[in-house]
Amino acid sequence: MQKEQQELANLIKGKKVAFIGAGVSHKTLIREFVELGAHVTLCDQKKSVEDFGDYAATIKELGIDLSLGENYLDGFKGQDIIMRTPGFVGYFEKPLQDAMAAGTMVTSEVELFFQFCPCEIVAVTGSDGKTTTTTLISKFYEAAGRRVHLGGNIGAALLPMLPEVSPDDVAVVELSSFQLISMHQSPNIAVVTNVTPNHLDHHKDMQEYIDAKRNILLYQKQPCRAVLGYENEISRSMQKDCKGKQVWFTRLHETDNGAFLREDGMLCMAENGVVTPFLAQKDVKLRGLHNIENLLAAAAAVWGEVPVEAIQLVGSSFTGVEHRIEPVRVLDGVTYYNDSIGTSPTRTIAGLRSFDQKVILIAGGYDKHIPYEPLAPEITAHVKNLVLMGATGPRIEKAVREDPNFHEAELPIQHADNMQHAVELARACAKPGDIIILSPASASFDLYPNFEVRGREFKSIVNALK
């Protein structure tokens, strides 16, 4: 057992540990913690052990205590450690705060990985662009021959990988606000893509959301690097929180320190005013100017860590991540795109701006209580037919109709009962040469467990069309 794994074992052995929920990562960790000698209690809103389905047998096998039902948080009492999950967002609410006041350690899978990881950690947060930027960074390192451990809000749970991690490896981690809100460790290299209103159905207010994102920077130790988006006012303001080297990425400005898009279409990196062009925009396979920003952010993060040839190779060949302006098929001259990652207005705006023609847009879903007024002028400018569904459908329609450039004759609006109906309505108004894109500007939780399931259903429906 390597040193870091032994330190984790010493922390866990003989301790009373409560896990909030039995998601995929917690199921793996619960077994590991029991094997390390922890006394585990599982706190979950389910009402009986049978409600866990196939996992019920494991609960009985491992001798896990249960705290279930309406008062499941009572299981926090008397615990040494509470393992929170990103799905449980009440970090500042009374049950967890009372537990911490009583001396209980509140942590998470990602936090423990940061605490015991022996290798360099690169982490990315932001409202938009996290997954693409994180994926690009991981591919840059892989192209340079480094062994990469990809996880956090993307990929697999990282803590179970700890025995396999060596000091020469690199961990590339995507972090959401829910993961960051309780973190007291920061990565060696931190990237903040942008910060715009999001998840306000769960965060107390916008300031709490911003403060959570800021945690990615606050605990950095020298030597470290912070990469901030210059165009976004909130990420730009985080410069004051940086502890070490800070660089920008920007598509609209030139900078003396950071990655930028030059007027001649070259992606460049500047170090103390010395500019190195490294890739032509015309050679980038990713669609959309927002993806140029993601590529700039990723390049700024790894500059000097990998050969420039690795950045050029990946930058000129990487075509994107599933559910992000993903081409599905061409049928009857109409091209269908899956942009189910469009869970907020800013994501959908970026998707709409990726096309040089007006599109047929399918939008709407779960309501995160974020404003749709900024989306409305983008819809009137870039959409020829609008198909709405879900709880936010009426809110999006109201915002669009109140936009001064809206004309009903130029932008018909229809409402669908479900995804199948939405695709049928969109197809019915499409002509050869048109583009139909699912980019909901909303979360998926009204009808789907996550945006991936939503996107795959859209693709399945589109691929079944005759």
- Please give the annotated binding residues for ATP, written as ranges: 126-132
Q: Return the closest-CA partner of residue 157 out of 120, 118, 110.
A: 110
H or E element that contains 25? helix 24-35
Beta-ladder partners of 190? 123, 226
* Cα–Cα distance for residue pair 111/180, rounded to 1 Å: 9
Helices (H), 88-205: 94-101, 109-116, 130-143, 177-180
Neighbour-count burial of 274, counting CB atoms closer than 10 A to its CB (0-12 exposed, 13-18 middle, 19+ buried): exposed
Token digits for 251?
């598509």
The CA distance from 196 to 154, in Å, is 20
CB-count exposure of residue 175 (10 Å: 0-12, 13-18, 19+): buried
> What is the residue whose two structure tokens read 């340079």?
144
Return the amino acid letter for 192. Answer: V
How far apart CA 407 and CA 380 sit, in angstroms, is 8
Output the known binding site: 126-132
Residue 84 carries which side chain, given as an amino acid letter?
A: R
* Cα–Cα distance, 220 to 224 (Å, whole number): 6
Beta strands in 315-440 (DSSP E): 326-331, 334-338, 359-363, 383-388, 413-415, 435-438
Closest among 217, 216, 299 to 250, alpha carbons compared: 299
Q: Is the peptide bond before 223 cis (omega within 30 degrees of 0)?
A: yes
Q: In what order do the strands lie in the sheet with 326-331?
A: 326-331, 334-338, 435-438, 359-363, 383-388, 413-415
> Which residue in 111, 104, 136 sits closest to 25, CA to CA?
111
- Report the candidate in 79, 4, 76, 13 with the shortest Cα–Cα distance to residue 43: 76
Q: Can you tell me the distance from the alpha carbon of 174 to that of 153, in angstroms, rounded to the nearest whole number?
A: 5
Distance separating alpha carbons of residues 89 and 203, to the nearest angstrom: 8
Residue 64's SS3 state is: coil
